[in-house]
Structure 1
């Protein structure tokens, strides 16, 4: 035991001796950081909002966007709002699954914000709303934002996104430049061939009446069942819009055209269907809003 203690002491003294003999080279102060401040912790960038982007081909869910442009300049996509996940919603290792309750809450927040911006139900206009989440890699790195984007469609036939200048703020108020109105519908066989928007003072045979929302439930997988359900729901919307009784005679007053928003939107909480009245044997040059039974009589022909 004594020899071991002596040896340990001698070893320590040797180390001290070596350290004392060499000294430091000129210009070296022994500070390993050399007076540089510590690097800041890594941060995840959050998309700006409001912001506009000129994207060549906007697609839902784009996490990488070009530089921001002035909304007064030509652009194709407008970020209206950016929210953040928190609590249990943010504690997962991967982004929230499509159509799950976490995404539904984010989509509801987007809907509320966009409706307030445009001045009405965005679904009543040539407007598309997209919810974008971080990519799996961004989420793994700590990103917990979600983005609410809107685009303007040229029409609801092709759903082609068009460039515009100016924010969509107030797009469904005042002159309502993006609101759905009257249409000239051409039928080919039993299908709609074209549905061209036109001024209600010009000849037309169709008019947008509003949006019907299906009750909560599973998305109807059968196309025939979806169509039947939407037609039944839209009859009430058309009756209210035109001011006629919502009874079994509505179908003898006007035809109907309906378009749902699809399964992806349904799963997010948008169970709406756009409702249009349609007169296949008559042309109008005025709106039928509030026209009543005189303006929309029972068709006995």
Structure 2
């Protein structure tokens, strides 16, 4: 089953300052805060390490992998409370910070991209701006190699409203050796095809691993049946989305769904509307 982290907020709250931390953390942005609209030629490892990223920003017309589209700060009282807390309470407060940062990035992403980014080859990278205890975070847009991939595509153009122009929609996916799945056109040999997105409701539903898995599978199976035009045993439903407790926290509970071939033989063509007919081989 495909399962991927769609968005990750990296880093944890810094040290605990029992005697000196005020009721609210400072609203002053840390020194390493990136500029909104800046583009960076940063690899996946450094992107996951939080801001400031190494090097300097580059022109968005030059080769780059990430584009910062939002800088925000979680609730200042919450950040201060997290820094004062200890033990399990500290974990709870840090989790609440994590959720706020994630929601901030996800809420802004559709407007930045110009559409539903879950149906495209883009991802959102969210990271704390050091020191993480300040509660500041940055959100960056990247084009990914595949739905479960942490590898970025090097681009020479902005992703701002890029979905309005088309060309970034998901078509099909193919196995990419030890790297999982990679996006590919459906006229090339592939293992599965994108069938749509499915959102689990209600918003802010509590995490339940077993229920989440069965609900996502059922929802994506329904999409696959409608997309193909029949229920088939030679295709199976798969999904990409927030499948762990960590990823579920603050997520928008949306999954990208795929119809995957059940056997090892590749598909060569779209399965859309084929009904009970032969698979395109």
Specify the TM-score bucket, using the shorter chain as the normaliser.
0.5 to 0.7
Deviation at 1:221, TM superposition (A): 4.1
Instruction: Give the TM-score taking structure 2 as reference length.
Output: 0.68
- CA gap of 1:271–1:184, structure 2 versus 1, over 3 A, is same
1:171 paired with 2:162, answer: yes
Residue in 2 that maps onto 1:67: 56
Distance 1:275 1:43 in 2: 39
User: How far did residue 211 of structure 1 move?
Assistant: 2.3
**Deviations 1:143-200 (Å, cap 9, x if unpaired)?**
45321122222223543123222211233333323x21123459x9xxx996453322
Choose between structure 1 and 2 for higher RCO, CA contacts under 8 A separated by at least 6 residues. 2
Q: Are 1:79 and 2:74 matched, yes or no?
A: no
2:217 counterpart residue number: 231
Matches within 5 A, 1:207-226: 207-215=193-201, 216-221=204-209, 226=212
Q: Kindly indicate whether residue 95 of structure 2 is the aligned counterpart of residue 99 of structure 1.
A: yes
Whether the 8 Å CA contact 1:259–1:274 is kept in 2: the answer is: yes
1:296 equivalenced with 2:280 (yes/no) = no
**TM-score if structure 1 supplies the norm length?**
0.64
Shift of residue 110 of structure 1? 1.3
Structure 1 residues 235 and 49: CA distance shift in structure 2, 3 A: same
Pair 1:62–1:274, CA change in 2 (3 A): same
Match of 2:138 among 136, 147, 153: 147
Specify the alignment match of 2:119 in structure 1.
124
CA contact (8 A) 1:265 1:271 kept: no
How far apart are residue 209 of structure 1 and its match? 1.1
Computed over aligned residues only, the root mean square deviation of the Cα atoms, in angstroms, reads 3.5
Seen in structure 2, the aligned counterparts of structure 1 residues 231 and 199 have a Cα distance that, compared at 3 Å, is same
Q: Counterparts of 1:285 and 1:44 in 2: how far apart (Å)?
A: 51
**2:24 alignment partner in structure 1:** none
Query: Of 217, 226, 251, which residue of structure 2 is paired with 1:269?
Result: 251
SS of match in other structure, 1:99: helix
Which residue in 2 is equivalent to 1:182?
Answer: 172
Higher-Rg member (1/2) = 1
Residues 156 and 146 from structure 1, CA distance in 2 versus in 1: closer, same or farther, beyond 3 angstroms?
same
Partner of 2:239: 258
5+ residue gaps, structure 1, are 1-41
Match of 2:216, SS state, is helix
CA distance in 1, matches of 2:81, 2:49: 20
CA distance in 2, matches of 1:47, 1:193: 30
Question: 1:211-236, CA deviations, whole angstroms, 9 ceiling, x for partnerless residues?
Answer: 222334333345xx654332112123
The question of whether the paired residues in 2 share the 8 Å contact of 1:52 and 1:78 is answered with yes
* Structure 1 residues 113 and 287: alpha-carbon distance in aligned structure 2, compared to 1, 3 A threshold: farther
Structure 2 unmatched runs, 5+: 1-27, 85-91
